[in-house]
Structure 1
Amino acid sequence: MKNTMRILSVSAITVMGVLSIVTPTLAAMSATASCNALEGLSIPALAIGLATKGATVTSAGAVSSNDAASGAAHCLVMGEIYPLSTSEIIHPNTAHKTDVNTPSILFRVALPNDWNHKTLQYGGGGFNGTIPQVDRSSEDGIQSALARGYATLASDSGHKAPYAGGKANELWNSEALRNFGRQQIKKTHDAAQFIMATYYQAAPQHSYFQGGSQGGHEALIAAQFYPDDYDGVIVGYPAYNLEAMHLGSMDYGKTLYNARTAGVDGYQFNAKAGEGWISRPQTRALTRYMLGTCDAKDLALDGASDDMISDAGACQEFITQTLGKNLLAHDDSNPLRCEAGAHSQSTSAKVDLEPCLSDPQIETLARISSRYNLPDGLVLSGGLKSYGRWPMLDGIHIAKDDTVYLSQQEDFGSERGAFDAFQATFPSIDQYNIITQKTYSKPADILENFDPANWVERITTLSRWVDTSGVDFSHFRGKGGKMIHYHGGADVSITPYNSIDFYLRMTGQFKGNKDYLGMNAFWRSDDAATNDRASQNESVGVSGGVVDDFYSFYLIPGYGHGKGYYKASVDWLSALEDWVEQDIAPVNHLVSTDVSGNQLGRRPLCYFPYYPQYVGGSSDTTLASDYECRKLTDYQNLM
């Protein structure tokens, strides 16, 4: 329905309990004129549910359908939410004393001419620092939110990224850090609500949140901390436990970098002497062994020989029990072990090209493939004391190669002079700087100088400000809120076992699942004890892995950190709409479309712990109708 409501003559509207007198305008004002009239709009501090000094619309301009990426004519609004303080003194009375400004929260809202009376708030990524696009094109046959008539909104989370003109130390500021941690979600939502009430003279009927990575974390923030503001959230591969995640990432980097002799053969990172570095050719050899062993057994395992292992547990079971192999062993049962456990070459450049693993490299693989336990005494938000393992033994593509469909895959291992994986290029160095509130820029600072055991109090405080590790969503669930959560099984930026941990704690708190955590082999027996269980509402049941009335989790084989061997294009928003607005719960067989160029076609999405198994009678594996969702094979972390 075409919306014709604009800024009317003098009228009174109430937003967040605040009476606002709208500037007199004509009811017949054009869309362009009514949009332009928003510029300079003052948003009172009381209209925002958390403490600020108010906000202002800094610009507003009409965007035609021809100029919009979405194809939807809209009013594009830019705004600024003001902080309470102008700056904060860091490290007073020391040589490191620093005066750090408190940035405003910069936000953007797209107000469609044809409004469907709904809003979608987008999350960011990494440490944010730029405003995500609110006018997005429709892709892979999935119509974008703005094209559907949604008012869309997003913010920079209250600071600028260095590449966008910000300073690297902005997140040392506690107000800026709290904004980034979660408060910007609410503040942006409320400022946008005021603008919509002014522009449309009406409130939205439904409000949703969608994001991946840090944006997935922000979706969880919306549901847990601001449940009255949202009807549903889409949680993609969430970085919900930033402190544990980055400490686990630092451990990952230390494990790898400490295993490379310093300065040898032109490597750009100096590290402690060691022989455990694993190169890109060696990670390719690991992937190729897993695929060559398991993918060929298509009828017994995944059901399709497609260069992808969907049931990693079945593959490991076949390798260990049927073949009697052990990829972590230091003997002849390990098909990847170098002869006598050592490389035949003398220089690291040549060693890197040998497709076998030395005994030190096997130890590196074992450590990375094990759960990371936090230092004694460090217990993070939600009771977390550990971080999930990396999926290096799951048969995933974990190193780039020259084929088209793997050119965008994430990387583990490297040729000389480069290392492309998320953890080892150390975006975690930003987290390190936030913890120590000092500026360091070299991986060696973390490798040699950082011990989280010396920063327990600071890390615990940061976890309270930024983490969303608890699984008590009783308020959100009680008001009818719905949550769709998904993660890629081939993600080596945020391990999928981090989301599996979340799923197990989420489902473990409900009726009939009290013993589920301890019995499920996706965790080792002691992992259930290291992460506190929650007791939320024992009257809620779990059917086939789905919390019946509000939560569903999907693990997508072959999908990485928003990209990968299998790029899953899913209409998550329609699924959420159906659940919230029509009480039609998402099920197995949500269809995903591959657009990666590897011609995998379409696959059903299966909620965890299920996966799509090929059951069709022909050799054509591209049709979703030829797959059924079968339960994954449980397996221990290590073989």
Structure 2
Amino acid sequence: MSRSYMAVVVCLAFLWSLVLGFPEKEPSFKQRCQEFKPLSYVANATVNAQGFISAGQTILYPSNDPNCNRPSQNVSVDICRIALNFTTSDRSHVLSEVWLPQNWTGRFLATGNGGIDGCTKYEDIDYGVKYGLATVGSNNGHNGTGGASFLNNDEVLKDFVFRALHSSATIAKTLTSKFYHQPPKKSYYIGCSGGGRQGLKAAEMYPKDYDGILIGAPASNFNNMSSWRASFAGKTGAPGSMDFISPAMWQGLIHDEVLKQCDFNDGVRDGILENPGECGFDPARLLCREGTTNSSACLSLAQVGIVKSVFSPLYGEGGELVYPAMQPGSEIAASTGLYSGTPFPYSVVRPLSSFQPFQLKNKKDWFRYVVHKDPLWDPLTFSGKDISLAQSLNPLNVQSFPNNLTTFHANNGKMIIYHGLQDQQISSFATNRLHNHLAESVASRAQLDSFLRYFQISGLNHCNSGPGAWMIGQSTLGDSERGFRKENNVLAALVAWVENERAPETVEGVKFEGDRKGGMVLRTRRHCAWPSVNRFLGSEGEKGENWVCV
């Protein structure tokens, strides 16, 4: 055998050893996404869409219900998107979106809905993946903002009350584990309003689903809350009626008087109430004097009675407390909603760029399609009998007013609740009552504090917006974009509590000029864990360091 031949053989053998010695190149994130087969792990489902979405791209939703006002969503980071349709019974199904970020931190997040709607909050899904959490959201088992889908279909109602969230989270966790080849180390939930109710329900029914739950302005005590909202049209009267109080009077005359009587209770006049519960607002001070000719500068005796009624609790036919009063200070936003004289109006802040409210379907749908099962039911006939009927039915225990969260606590779960003190949709006093109710189920307040913290956010309207330092990191809208740090982001504070046992004592919020993130800071505030409240001690009311929790 020639030397040249031997050299060739040795060379080929060496090259072959190199080939065998190097592992195959890892597939790219994009390739992994394209090759992933979700239906290998999920039964009774179809894939509506799947693919890699790069940061900055916009996903279009042309078939989304227009009442949801979410035709598209910009994506903040590189993700693998999986859109599923899975059945929950032979009469119900759920649409869900699972977004798996390339910058995964090992955490999982589920997002809630709002009101009685079936609108996927794509903006909150994006909020999760932005900070590295594999995130899921769903339509909660029906489309749009109305309740017609509930009529004579308990399966759809079951999805709304509890099943859609639990099922979509379970499926999404499975897909997360298979895609990343390891399960999430911790699981979280965020939701506000109706999404707050969902979070409470999850902690009560499925205490192992989440390690940390962040809920805002929860629609707890749901049946009674719906009755409370229904009662306002009867209190205010119809627009144009003799004693009807116009939005302008609520926003000017009455709101100004609330501030005149109560704003200085916290130590500074800044247009924001830190503790509406100690306000003691007396509308009789606005009573017109005899001979007054300018009726827009004062209130008639009947109008004083209307204002007192608005700021009074709702009681049932037997004199039992149904729901707490509306807190004073929310008049500006409530004037075009609950105080507008229209049965059951509610609004949400959309689109994301403007903070302008728009009207959605009326919440009278709950009474029409669920309580009475009568599409022709007239909300103007609402009375104490409707309150009693809703209470007695309590469909699928939608009430969501748990007597305790013992099992959630036993599983080392942590919960943060926040509520805006200018909430125009759900009274913050109701969440005070919920907190006190849960406190009665434990041996001491310290025991409750070991797994649940409640923060009142002064100057925050319903879930988002308001004149106060309302951006606390509760959502895409509430993300001040100052970093994912426990000091100024409530979701990060929850993560730190769950993973490092660092319970938050305060949550810092910020208010930008025009709510333009990154712009001029108008005020900051360290919001206190209730029952502590903020008191002003310094010289500049807009700086957080000049306030102390007492």
Under TM normalisation by the shorter chain, which class is it?
Answer: 0.7 to 0.9
Amino acid at match of 2:322: S
Q: 1:373-408: CA deviations, max 9, x gaps?
A: 23449xxxxxx95111112xx3x15126xxxxxxx9
Which residue in 2 is equivalent to 1:36? 34
Note if 1:623 corresponds to 2:543: yes
The aligned counterpart of 1:306 is 270
2:530 is the alignment partner of 1:595:
no
Amino acid at match of 1:29: P
Q: What is the one-letter code of the residue matched to 2:139?
A: D
**1:613 corresponds to 2:530:** no
Cα deviation, residue 492, structure 1: 1.8
Deviation for aligned residue 1:451: 3.8
Aligned pair 1:372/2:314, yes or no? yes
Residue aligning to 1:291: 259
Give the unaligned 5+ runs of structure 1: 1-25, 46-53, 87-101, 138-143, 261-266, 268-273, 320-325, 328-333, 346-350, 378-383, 401-407, 511-537, 631-639
| Number of corresponding residues | 478
Quick one: structure 1 residues 44 and 119, their matched pair in 2 at CA, closer, same or farther if it must change by over 3 Å? Answer: closer
Shift of 1:573: 1.0
TM-score (norm 1): 0.69
After superposition, what is the alpha-carbon deviation per residue over 1:435-456, rounded to whole angstroms, capped at 9, x for unaligned? 2222248xxx1113x4452685
Does the CA contact (< 8 Å) of 2:158 and 2:396 recur in 1? no
Aligned-residue offset at 1:581: 0.5
Q: Which residue of 2 aligns with 1:123?
A: 112
Match of 2:47 among 28, 32, 57: 57
Report the CA distance between 1:157 and its aligned residue.
0.3
Q: Could you tell me which of 459, 465, 468 is aligned with 1:563?
A: 465
Q: How far apart are the structure 1 equivalents of 2:343 and 2:293?
A: 23
Map of 2:498 onto structure 1 = 580
Q: Secondary structure at the match of 1:107?
A: strand
Residue in structure 1 matched with residue 69 of structure 2 by the alignment: none
Q: Does 2:125 align with 1:110?
A: no
Report the Cα offset of residue 135 of structure 1: 6.6
Show the 5 A alignment for 1:71-86: 71-86=76-91
Distance change in 2, residues 1:560/1:76 (3 Å) = same
Separation in 1, partners of 2:177, 2:189? 19
Other-structure match for 2:302 = 360
- Residue 429 of structure 2 is matched in structure 1 by 497
Alignment partners' CA distance in 1, 2:408 and 2:180: 27
- Cα shift readout 1:480-537 (whole Å, capped 9, x = no counterpart): 0000001011112001111111011112333xxxxxxxxxxxxxxxxxxxxxxxxxxx
Deviations 1:31-60 (A, max 9, x none): 223212346615455xxxxxxxx3233321
Partners of 1:57 and 1:279 in 2: how far apart? Answer: 50
The Cα of 1:275 is off from its aligned counterpart by: 4.1
User: Identity rate of aligned residues, in percent?
Assistant: 24
Query: For residues 315-337 of structure 1, what are the alpha-carbon distances to aligned partners after superposition, in whole Å with 9 as ceiling and x for unaligned?
Result: 43xx7xxxxxx43xxxxxx3200
Counterpart contact for 1:110–1:153, Cα < 8 Å: yes
Residue of structure 2 in register with 1:178 after alignment: 158
The structure 1 residue matched to 2:455, chosen from 541, 550, 554, is: 554
Instruction: Identify the residue that residue 178 of structure 2 maps to in structure 1.
Output: 198
Whole-angstrom CA distance in 2 between matches of 1:426 and 1:157: 17
Contact 2:108-2:173 within 8 A present in 1 as well = no
Q: Does the 8 Å contact 2:220/2:400 carry over to 1?
A: yes
- After superposition, residues 139-538 of structure 1 pair within 5 angstroms as 144-161=127-144, 168-257=148-237, 267=240, 275-283=242-250, 284-295=252-263, 298=264, 301-316=265-280, 326-327=282-283, 334-340=284-290, 344=293, 354-376=296-318, 386-391=322-327, 394=328, 396-399=329-332, 413=339, 427-434=362-369, 435-440=371-376, 445-448=378-381, 450-451=382-383, 453=385, 456=388, 459-510=391-442, 538=443
Q: Check conservation: 1:410, 1:492, Cα contact below 8 A.
A: no
CA distance in 1, matches of 2:337, 2:101: 40
Residue 245 of structure 1 and its aligned partner are, at CA, apart by: 0.8
Q: Is the 8 A contact 2:213 2:416 kept in 1?
A: yes
Q: Quote the Cα distance in structure 1 between the aligned partners of 2:224 and 2:330.
A: 25
- Alignment-mate amino acid for residue 542 of structure 1: R
Give TM-score scaled by structure 2 length: 0.79
CA RMSD in angstroms comes to 3.1
- How big is the shift at 1:359? 1.5
* Matching residue's letter, 1:564: G
Q: Deviations over 1:231-287 (max 9, x none)?
A: 0100100012221111111111221126x6xxxxxx5xxxxxx64422223222111
CA–CA distance in 1 between the matches of 2:537 and 2:106? 43
CA distance in 2, matches of 1:419, 1:180: 19
> Residue 288 of structure 1: SS of its match in structure 2?
helix
- Using the alignment, how far apart are the partners of 2:208 and 2:362 within structure 1? 34
Tell me: CA distance 1:314–1:158, structure 2 relative to 1, closer, same or farther (3 Å): closer
Asked if structure 1 preserves the Cα contact closer than 8 Å seen for 2:469 and 2:524, the reply is no
SS of residue paired to 1:243 = helix
State which drifts further: 421-430 or 190-199: 421-430
Q: Is the 8 A contact 1:42 1:55 kept in 2?
A: no
Q: SS of the residue aligned with 1:579?
A: helix
Cα 1:463–1:564 change in 2 (3 A) is: farther
One-letter amino acid of the counterpart of residue 75, structure 1: C
Mark the CA change 1:56 to 1:73 in structure 2 (over 3 Å): closer, same or farther. Answer: same
**Which residue identity does 2:136 align to in structure 1?**
L
